Amino acid sequence: MSKSNLKQAVFPVAGLGSRFLPVTKSIPKEMLPIIDKPLIQFAVEEAIEAGIEEIIFVTSHTKKAIEDYFSMNYELEHRLKDAGKSEVVEIIHPKYLDEIKFSFIRQSEPNGLGHAILQAKHIITDDFFGIILADDLILSEPGCLKQLLEIHEKTQSSVLGVFSASENQVSNYGVISSKNIDGVEKVDGIVEKPKPADAPSNLAVFGRYILSKNIFLNIEQTKPGLNNEIQLTDAIQDLILNEDVFALEFEGRRFDCGSKEGYISAIIDRASSIDKFKSIIEK
Ligand code: G1P
């Protein structure tokens, strides 16, 4: 595991997953499988690749499956061992389960992304921490958080992952305005889900952030914004007034698995890289 100066990452997973009902009535949307591996595992492994040592899930009472998934299942492991299937044990109990610290905090009520992140305030010890929204699946080498980390190491500042959105996508995201300074985009404004005509650019923030822990002070001051929720975007707009914030257009394939189209595309993409499924895709 690589040593990095970014050790903690917050995973807000308390959302209701209403776009995927009925399955999300009893299964967290983060547990939806991309063939046989849940979305949350891709996100956790991306964080570990960037050197994260503590993952903090901001969760709700309906998300117990996530807690179970990152714990040991004694009965299953013993049965598999007795049956001589140690290679399957390695799949269900990767080494990092013993090396990484998993913390769980309950968000009492869903009240926006900013409010979810604020729940982790008392656990964050370092000056900067990562945020991963697991329904944004990013397949890239190096992983997306690691790409953001490179910019953070250069600038010692907050970094937002962004992508070039089409005109009809901008109203689903936080959208930045920025200036290119020595090859890095320095953010000078950010708005939550603007109408296409009001969007300051086409650079939209997706589910990867490295933020200064001063963001907690900004979130505490943030009044309810869009949809009457405490928006992380509004707190970042305040952070920019006091600190540098940069943006990185990541390199890789991104699937917005919060939408059915994105989810299906992710499954097809993964299947097409596995020999035995290729012929099914090509039919
Ligand atoms: C949230 C943020 C938004 C960001 C998006 C990325 O929106 O509020 O700024 O662009 O995540 O996925 P949500 O998708 O939760 O509506």
Binding site membership of 157 for ligand 1 (Cβ less than 6 Å)? no
Atom of ligand 1 nearest to the CA of 136: 12
Of ligand 1's listed atoms, the one at least distance from the Cα of 256 is 12
Whole-number Å distance, alpha carbon 169 to ligand 1 midpoint, is 12
Ligand 1 and 192: CB distance under 6 A: yes
Ligand 1 atom at minimal distance to the Cα of residue 226: 8
Atom of ligand 1 nearest to the CA of 232: 8
Q: How far is the centre of ligand 1, averaged over its atoms, from the C-alpha of 93 (Å)?
A: 31
Give the mean pLDDT per block of 10 residues along the chain (283 residues): 77 92 93 97 98 96 92 93 93 93 92 97 97 96 96 96 94 96 93 96 96 98 95 98 96 94 96 89 77
Tokens describing residue 266:
């992710």
Cα–ligand 1 centroid distance for 84 (angstroms): 45
Residue 51 — left, alpha, or beta (φ > 0 → left; ψ -120 to 50 → alpha)? left
Domain boundaries, the chain: 8-277
How is the chain classified by DSSP, letter by letter? ----S--EEEEE-----GGGTTGGGTS-GGG-EETTEEHHHHHHHHHHHTT--EEEEEE-TT-HHHHHHTS--HHHHHHHHHTT-HHHHHHHS-THHHHSEEEEEE-SS---HHHHHHTTTTT--SSEEEEE-TTEEEE-SS-HHHHHHHHHHHHSSEEEEEEE--TTTGGGSEEEEEEEETTEEEEEEEEES--GGG-S-SEEEEEEEEEETTHHHHHHHPPP-GGGS--HHHHHHHHHHHS-EEEEE--SEEEETTSHHHHHHHHHHHHTTSHHHHHHHH-
The predicted structure's pLDDT at residue 28: 94
- What is the CATH architecture assignment of 8-277? Alpha-Beta Complex (3.90)
Q: Give the pTM.
A: 0.94
pLDDT of residue 137: 97
Model pLDDT, residue 2: 45
Mutate-to-test residue for ligand 1 from 20, 135, 172, highest number of ligand atoms within 8 A of CB? 172
What local confidence, expressed as pLDDT, does residue 4 receive?
64
If one residue of 58, 133, 259 were mutated to test the ligand 1 pocket, choosing by the most ligand atoms within 8 A of its CB, it would be 133
Pocket-testing residue among 16, 138, 173, ligand 1, by greatest number of atoms within 8 A of Cβ: 173
Residue 163 CB less than 6 A away from ligand 1: no
